[in-house]
Structure 1
Amino acid sequence: MKNEIDVHQALAVVNKITRDGVKKDGVYHFEGLTVESDSDGYTVVLTDGRTSLTLFFHNKYEFDYPDSTAFENFMRRYWAIYGM
Protein backbone atom coordinates (compact mmCIF):
# COMPACT_ATOMS: atom_id res chain seq x y z
CA MET A 1 0.00 0.00 0.00
CA LYS A 2 1.33 3.42 -0.92
CA ASN A 3 2.04 5.76 2.03
CA GLU A 4 1.50 3.01 4.55
CA ILE A 5 1.48 3.94 8.23
CA ASP A 6 0.79 2.19 11.50
CA VAL A 7 -2.54 3.53 12.78
CA HIS A 8 -1.47 2.97 16.39
CA GLN A 9 1.58 5.21 15.79
CA ALA A 10 -0.66 7.84 14.20
CA LEU A 11 -2.96 7.71 17.22
CA ALA A 12 0.08 8.18 19.47
CA VAL A 13 0.93 11.35 17.49
CA VAL A 14 -2.67 12.54 17.83
CA ASN A 15 -2.54 11.85 21.57
CA LYS A 16 0.73 13.80 21.94
CA ILE A 17 -0.75 16.78 20.08
CA THR A 18 -3.97 16.79 22.11
CA ARG A 19 -2.05 16.34 25.36
CA ASP A 20 0.74 18.89 24.81
CA GLY A 21 -0.73 21.19 22.18
CA VAL A 22 -2.71 24.39 22.46
CA LYS A 23 -6.46 24.14 21.85
CA LYS A 24 -8.02 27.00 19.91
CA ASP A 25 -11.57 26.89 18.56
CA GLY A 26 -11.75 23.13 19.00
CA VAL A 27 -8.49 22.46 17.13
CA TYR A 28 -5.26 21.36 18.81
CA HIS A 29 -1.99 22.91 17.55
CA PHE A 30 1.48 21.50 18.21
CA GLU A 31 4.82 21.69 16.38
CA GLY A 32 3.28 22.64 13.02
CA LEU A 33 0.53 20.02 13.04
CA THR A 34 -3.11 20.31 14.03
CA VAL A 35 -5.69 17.77 15.15
CA GLU A 36 -9.44 17.98 15.05
CA SER A 37 -12.18 15.40 15.20
CA ASP A 38 -15.79 15.13 14.15
CA SER A 39 -18.56 15.42 16.69
CA ASP A 40 -18.68 11.71 17.52
CA GLY A 41 -14.88 11.32 17.70
CA TYR A 42 -14.73 8.48 15.19
CA THR A 43 -12.92 10.50 12.54
CA VAL A 44 -9.75 12.43 13.34
CA VAL A 45 -7.85 14.71 10.96
CA LEU A 46 -4.15 15.37 11.45
CA THR A 47 -2.85 18.13 9.15
CA ASP A 48 -0.14 20.68 8.55
CA GLY A 49 -2.35 22.74 6.23
CA ARG A 50 -1.15 21.15 3.00
CA THR A 51 -1.19 17.45 3.78
CA SER A 52 -3.83 15.72 5.84
CA LEU A 53 -4.09 12.29 7.35
CA THR A 54 -7.66 11.29 8.16
CA LEU A 55 -8.06 8.43 10.62
CA PHE A 56 -11.36 6.58 10.41
CA PHE A 57 -13.06 3.97 12.56
CA HIS A 58 -11.74 0.37 12.26
CA ASN A 59 -8.11 1.43 11.65
CA LYS A 60 -8.75 2.88 8.20
CA TYR A 61 -6.94 6.00 7.05
CA GLU A 62 -6.49 8.25 4.05
CA PHE A 63 -3.81 10.75 3.02
CA ASP A 64 -4.54 13.84 0.97
CA TYR A 65 -1.68 15.98 -0.36
CA PRO A 66 -0.90 18.05 -3.45
CA ASP A 67 2.60 16.73 -4.15
CA SER A 68 5.41 14.59 -2.76
CA THR A 69 7.20 17.58 -1.20
CA ALA A 70 4.11 18.44 0.87
CA PHE A 71 3.81 14.80 1.94
CA GLU A 72 7.50 14.60 2.92
CA ASN A 73 7.25 17.82 4.96
CA PHE A 74 4.19 16.48 6.77
CA MET A 75 5.90 13.16 7.52
CA ARG A 76 8.99 14.96 8.82
CA ARG A 77 6.79 16.78 11.38
CA TYR A 78 4.86 13.58 12.12
CA TRP A 79 8.02 11.58 12.89
CA ALA A 80 9.49 14.42 14.95
CA ILE A 81 6.40 14.41 17.18
CA TYR A 82 6.26 10.63 17.32
CA GLY A 83 9.89 10.51 18.45
CA MET A 84 9.41 13.01 21.28
Structure 2
Amino acid sequence: MKNELNPTKILQAFEIIMEKGSPTEIGRIYEGVEAFSDYDGYNVYMRGNGVELQVGFHNTYHLDYEQEHLRDSFLKKLDALVE
Protein backbone atom coordinates (compact mmCIF):
# COMPACT_ATOMS: atom_id res chain seq x y z
CA MET A 1 0.00 0.00 0.00
CA LYS A 2 1.26 3.48 -0.83
CA ASN A 3 2.25 5.77 2.01
CA GLU A 4 0.57 8.79 0.47
CA LEU A 5 -3.16 9.31 0.29
CA ASN A 6 -4.96 11.13 -2.48
CA PRO A 7 -6.42 14.20 -0.74
CA THR A 8 -8.98 14.77 -3.51
CA LYS A 9 -10.42 11.26 -3.11
CA ILE A 10 -10.42 11.55 0.67
CA LEU A 11 -12.34 14.83 0.57
CA GLN A 12 -14.75 13.41 -2.02
CA ALA A 13 -15.44 10.48 0.33
CA PHE A 14 -16.04 12.96 3.15
CA GLU A 15 -18.57 14.87 1.04
CA ILE A 16 -20.39 11.66 0.05
CA ILE A 17 -20.69 10.62 3.70
CA MET A 18 -21.97 14.08 4.65
CA GLU A 19 -24.55 14.05 1.82
CA LYS A 20 -25.82 10.47 2.12
CA GLY A 21 -25.13 9.62 5.73
CA SER A 22 -27.40 9.39 8.72
CA PRO A 23 -26.91 11.90 11.55
CA THR A 24 -24.76 10.93 14.53
CA GLU A 25 -23.96 12.83 17.69
CA ILE A 26 -21.00 14.59 16.06
CA GLY A 27 -21.42 14.19 12.29
CA ARG A 28 -22.83 11.68 9.84
CA ILE A 29 -22.29 7.96 9.18
CA TYR A 30 -22.53 6.12 5.87
CA GLU A 31 -21.46 2.59 4.96
CA GLY A 32 -19.83 2.17 8.39
CA VAL A 33 -17.68 5.31 8.16
CA GLU A 34 -18.42 8.28 10.40
CA ALA A 35 -17.40 11.74 9.19
CA PHE A 36 -17.26 15.02 11.08
CA SER A 37 -15.28 18.25 11.18
CA ASP A 38 -14.07 20.68 13.80
CA TYR A 39 -15.91 23.94 14.42
CA ASP A 40 -14.05 25.95 11.78
CA GLY A 41 -13.96 23.20 9.13
CA TYR A 42 -10.18 23.25 8.78
CA ASN A 43 -9.89 19.66 9.96
CA VAL A 44 -12.12 16.83 8.81
CA TYR A 45 -12.24 13.40 10.38
CA MET A 46 -13.40 9.99 9.24
CA ARG A 47 -13.40 6.90 11.37
CA GLY A 48 -14.58 3.34 11.40
CA ASN A 49 -13.49 -0.16 12.32
CA GLY A 50 -10.65 0.95 14.60
CA VAL A 51 -9.18 3.51 12.20
CA GLU A 52 -9.32 7.31 12.37
CA LEU A 53 -8.20 9.62 9.59
CA GLN A 54 -7.68 13.33 10.19
CA VAL A 55 -7.22 15.62 7.19
CA GLY A 56 -6.01 19.09 8.03
CA PHE A 57 -5.10 22.36 6.46
CA HIS A 58 -2.99 22.13 3.26
CA ASN A 59 -4.02 18.47 2.85
CA THR A 60 -1.92 17.22 5.75
CA TYR A 61 -3.22 14.01 7.23
CA HIS A 62 -2.79 11.62 10.10
CA LEU A 63 -3.95 8.00 10.11
CA ASP A 64 -4.40 6.36 13.50
CA TYR A 65 -4.76 2.57 13.56
CA GLU A 66 -3.52 -0.44 15.47
CA GLN A 67 -3.30 -3.00 12.67
CA GLU A 68 -2.33 -2.54 9.03
CA HIS A 69 -5.11 -4.75 7.68
CA LEU A 70 -7.68 -2.48 9.38
CA ARG A 71 -6.08 0.55 7.76
CA ASP A 72 -6.07 -1.12 4.37
CA SER A 73 -9.73 -2.15 4.55
CA PHE A 74 -10.72 1.34 5.77
CA LEU A 75 -8.92 3.02 2.86
CA LYS A 76 -10.47 0.56 0.39
CA LYS A 77 -13.89 1.42 1.79
CA LEU A 78 -13.21 5.13 1.20
CA ASP A 79 -12.10 4.38 -2.37
CA ALA A 80 -15.29 2.38 -2.95
CA LEU A 81 -17.43 5.32 -1.81
CA VAL A 82 -15.86 7.56 -4.45
CA GLU A 83 -16.04 5.10 -7.35
TM-score after normalising by structure 2: 0.90
Identity of aligned residues (%): 28
| Residues paired across the two proteins, number | 82
In 1: Cα distance, 2:53 partner to 2:8 partner: 13
Structure 1 unaligned segments of length 5 or more: list them.
none
Alpha-carbon shift at residue 49 of structure 1 (Å): 4.0
Aligned match of 2:34:
34
Structure 2 unaligned segments of length 5 or more: list them.
none
Q: Is the 8 A contact 2:49 2:74 kept in 1?
A: no
Alpha-carbon shift at residue 75 of structure 1 (Å): 1.5
Q: Is the 8 A contact 2:42 2:56 kept in 1?
A: yes
Alpha-carbon shift at residue 68 of structure 1 (Å): 0.8
TM-score after normalising by structure 1: 0.89
| Structure 1 residues 1-84: aligned runs within 5 Å | 3-83=3-83
In 2: Cα distance, 1:14 partner to 1:59 partner: 13
In 2: Cα distance, 1:26 partner to 1:72 partner: 25
- CA offsets 1:22-79 (integer angstroms, 9 cap, x no match): 1122321000101011111111111114111100011111111101111122122111
Backbone CA RMSD of aligned residues? 1.2
Q: Secondary structure at the match of 1:25?
A: coil
Moved >2 Å (runs of 4+):
none
Q: Is the 8 A contact 2:51 2:70 kept in 1?
A: yes
